[in-house]
Structure 1
Amino acid sequence: MRIRNSVVVITGAASGIGRATALRFARRGTCLVLASRRAEALETLAAECTALGSRAIAVPTDMSDHDAVQELASRAVEEFGRIDVWVNDAAVAFFSPFLEVPLRDFQRVIDVNVMGYVYGARAALERMQEQGSGVLVNVASIVGEVPQPYSSAYSVSKAAVRALGVSLRSELTLDRKKRIHVCTVLPPTIDTPFFHHAANYTGRRVVAMPPVYSADRVAKTILGVVEKPVREIAVGRIGRSMVRQHRLMPGQVEKGMAHQVEHGQLSRTEPAEDSTGNLYGPSLDPANAAVTGGWSGRRRTAQRVVLGTALVGVGAVVFGDKLKAAAPAVVAAAASAGRAIRSS
C-alpha cells in the first residue's frame, strides 16, 4: 500500500508503541486519527504529528465501549473520507498470581484487549469492505505464543488476538477480498511506560524483562506490514527465536520463560503496593504519556545479543537426545544473560 496521504487510525496512541507508530506515519505524510483515553496527551501528539507534515486529529476513545469505537471510525471518515489503515494497539494488563487477582480486573483486561480489538476490527473492516481495500494491523505479543506467569489475562488476550487474525484472514480469503489485509504483529518486551502503569498484585515492583527493544522498532515493523502485508510477524531476533523454539520444544521454553519472569520481571529488592494501575482510568502521570519507559541502555542492547545467541543456538541442534540435552543449557544461558542485564 502507498503510505503517503493514506488515512491511518491508531488506538492506544498516547504512549509507547502507539505513539511511536503515529510519529513514524506522520513523517510519511499520512492523515492520522489518534485514539486513546488521554485527551491532553492526544492533542500534544496531534500537534507533533502536524509539525512533522501530517494532518492529525485526536479522538479520545475507550476501546472497551463499542459505541465509542464506532464513533471513532465515523470521525475518521467524516474528516478524511476513508480508512486505509487501522492499528489496534490499545491494551492494559495486570501482574498477579492467578488465584489472587480480582476477577473484575481479569474481565477488564479481556474487555479492553480482546473486545476492544474486536470492536476496532469490526469498525475498520466495515469501512474497508465498502472501499474494497485496507490494512488492519493487530498488535499482539510474543506472550500470545509463549504465555507468562503472573500475566494470565494479558497472555489469554494476546493469544485471542492472534486467533482473531487467522479467522478474519480466512473469511477474507473465502470472500475473495484480496485487497483487504489483516496483519498480526508480535512484539517482545518493549521499552514503553506499560510496566509503570500496569495493575500489580505481586507485592514486587514490575520492571521490563530483558531483552528490551525500542518502541520505534515495533513502529517500523507496523509501517512495513502496511506497505507489504504479511499474515503475522514477530519483532526482533529474540522474538522470532522464541516463537520457533516454543514450537520445537514447548516444555523447555515455558520453563525458561517462567524463570525469566520470576527473576527478571519482578524486582527482588523493591516492594510495591497493590494497585489497579490504569485498568479503569488513564494514568495521570505525564511521564507515562511518552514513547519510552526508561528501560533501555547500551549494556542491555549489547547483552540482548548474548541472550539471542543462546536462544538461536538451540535451532542448530539436531532433534532427539541432543536436543533434550541442550535445552537446560540454553535455559541457563538465557537466565544468566537476564541476570547480567538486570544488574546494568
Structure 2
Amino acid sequence: MSRIETLEGAVVVVTGASGGVGRAAAVEFARHGASVALLARGEAGLEGAAGEVRDAGGRALIVPVDVADADAVEAAAARVESEWGRIDVWVNCAFSSVFSELGKIAPEEFRRTTEVSYLGFVYGTMAALRRMRPTGRGTVVQIGSALAYRGIPLQSAYCGAKHAIVGFTESVRTELLHDHSDVAITMVHLPAMNTPQFRWLLSRLPKQAQPVPPIYQPEVAARTIVRAALRPRRAYWVGASTVQTILGNRLIPGLLDRYLGRTGYQSQQTEEPRPADQPANLWEPADREVDHGTHGAFDGRAKKTSAQAWAARNRRMLGAAGAALGVAALLTVGGRATRR
C-alpha cells in the first residue's frame, strides 16, 4: 500500500479554512510539518489562518474560492499542484446553512446551502481524485456530523447536505475498492462545535443560535482530522455525544423524533435576542473584512478534550493494552493454579 506515512512535507488542502474547524485543522496539519493550502472566500479570515499556519511551522498558500463553483475548485486544485507539485490530503470542510423552519427558507436559500455544503464536497473530491488516482496515493477527508445520521429541527438544509455526503462518500469508496486503489476516503463525524458559524449563518430564529450541548472546541476535531489523514478508516466519531446520537438513532429513531420535536427549538437558542443586522455568509463571506478566528462565543462552555475522541484515535494501542492485560491475567491465574 502507498498510504501517507508522515505529514512532514505533505501537501494538504483544507476547504472552509478561514474559520472554525477548517482553520483549526489547517493549523494542526502545520504543527505536523505540512504545507497547507487554505481555500475559502473571506480574505481577512484567510489571512489570519495563514498567519497561524506559518506560526505553527507550516507553509501556507491562500486560495480564495467559492466551493459551490466546480470550475473554481478545479482551478484551485490546479494552482496548488502547480505551486507545490502534488496534493497528498484533501479535507472538505466548507459549508453554509440557514437556521430556520423549512417553511421560512426560500428555495434559492436551500439550493445555495446544498451547493456549498454538499456539492462543494463533491467538487472537492472530484478535484482531489483527479490528482490522486493516477499516482495511487492520497487521502480525502470528509468532515461530517452526528447530524449526518440524525436530523434535527431548524437545520433541514444542513442535515440534508450532511446525509447526502455520507451516501456520496460510500459510493466513491466502493469505486476505489473496485479499482484496488490505495487512495483512501474517510469521514470524521463531529459533535456540537464552538465555531463562529452561530454568529454568521443566515438565521430566522428569534434568539441567537447555539450548538446543542455538550460543546467542544474546534481543536478537538482537528486532532482527529489529522489522525484520519494518516490512518484512514471508514469513519471516525468525535465526542461521546456523537456516538450516542448515531447509535441512538439506530435503536430508537421514533422516540428521538418526539424528543427533538419537544426540545430541539429551545436547545438551539440562547436567551439573547438575535440582532437584526447580524451578518449572514450564505451569499457573501462574513469574514471578508473582519477575521472572526477559530472559536465562537462559547469558550466558557466548550470542552477542550474528549476521552472518546482520544480512544478512537488510539484504539489499536488500547486493543494491544487490553490484550496484554488479558494475557497477564491468564498467566496470573495459571500461575496460581500450578502452585495449588
Give 1:245 deviation, angstroms.
1.1
Whole-Å Cα distance in 2 between the matches of residues 3 and 164 of structure 1?
27
93, 107, 112: which one aligns with 1:108: 112
Deviations 1:53-72 (A, max 9, x none): 21111000100111110111
Matches within 5 A, 1:130-141: 130-141=134-145
Residues 197-206 or 100-109, more deviating: 197-206
Aligned letter for 1:69? V
59, 62, 73: which one aligns with 2:63: 59
Give 1:272 deviation, angstroms.
4.7
Whole-Å Cα distance in 2 between the matches of residues 167 and 36 of structure 1?
26
Q: Which has the larger radius of gyration?
A: 2
Whole-Å Cα distance in 1 between the matches of residues 200 and 154 of structure 2?
15
Aligned letter for 1:99? G
Deviations 1:210-231 (A, max 9, x none): 1101101111110111111111
Secondary structure of 2:295's partner?
Answer: coil
Determine the structure 2 residue equivalent to 1:257: 260
Deviations 1:270-299 (A, max 9, x none): 24548771100000486663110021325x
Q: Tell me, yes or no, if structure 1 residue 37 matches structure 2 residue 4.
A: no
Secondary structure of 1:140's partner?
Answer: strand
Whole-Å Cα distance in 2 between the matches of residues 254 and 272 of structure 1?
30
> Identity, % of aligned pairs?
33
215, 219, 231: which one aligns with 1:216: 219
Residues 234-243 or 271-280, more deviating: 271-280
Secondary structure of 2:162's partner?
Answer: helix
Determine the structure 2 residue equivalent to 1:326: none
287, 292, 305: which one aligns with 1:289: 292
173, 177, 190: which one aligns with 1:173: 177
Give 1:184 deviation, angstroms.
1.0
Whole-Å Cα distance in 2 between the matches of residues 218 and 64 of structure 1?
24
Determine the structure 1 residue equivalent to 2:229: 226
Determine the structure 2 residue equivalent to 1:270: 273
Contact kept, 8 Å, 2:43 with 2:289, in 1: the verdict is no
Q: Tell me, yes or no, if structure 1 residue 98 matches structure 2 residue 105.
A: no
Deviations 1:137-186 (A, max 9, x none): 01121111111111111110000111111011011011111x21111111
Secondary structure of 1:35's partner?
Answer: strand
Aligned letter for 1:58? I
Secondary structure of 2:284's partner?
Answer: coil
Matches within 5 A, 1:119-158: 119-158=123-162
Whole-Å Cα distance in 1 between the matches of residues 79 and 183 of structure 2?
21
Aligned letter for 1:14? S
Residues 196-205 or 274-283, more deviating: 274-283
Determine the structure 2 residue equivalent to 1:244: 247
Whole-Å Cα distance in 2 between the matches of residues 139 and 232 of structure 1?
10
Whole-Å Cα distance in 2 between the matches of residues 147 and 223 of structure 1?
27
TM-score (norm 1): 0.83
Distance 1:40 1:273, change over 3 A: closer
Aligned letter for 1:59? V
Distance 1:275 1:47, change over 3 A: closer
Deviations 1:65-104 (A, max 9, x none): 1111011100111111111000000000101111111111
Question: How many residue pairs align between the two structures?
Answer: 302
Determine the structure 1 residue equivalent to 2:326: none
276, 279, 283: which one aligns with 1:280: 283
Q: Tell me, yes or no, if structure 1 residue 76 matches structure 2 residue 55.
A: no
Secondary structure of 1:158's partner?
Answer: helix
Determine the structure 2 residue equivalent to 1:85: 89
Q: Tell me, yes or no, if structure 1 residue 187 matches structure 2 residue 157.
A: no
Residues 232-241 or 151-160, more deviating: 232-241
Give 1:36 deviation, angstroms.
0.3
Contact kept, 8 Å, 1:208 with 1:265, in 2: the verdict is yes
Whole-Å Cα distance in 2 between the matches of residues 285 and 72 of structure 1?
19
Whole-Å Cα distance in 2 between the matches of residues 260 and 4 of structure 1?
46
Give 1:257 deviation, angstroms.
3.3
Secondary structure of 1:106's partner?
Answer: helix
Distance 1:220 1:241, change over 3 A: same
Whole-Å Cα distance in 1 between the matches of residues 291 and 35 of structure 2?
25
TM-score (norm 2): 0.84
Matches within 5 A, 1:327-342: none
Whole-Å Cα distance in 2 between the matches of residues 284 and 296 of structure 1?
20
Aligned letter for 1:78? S
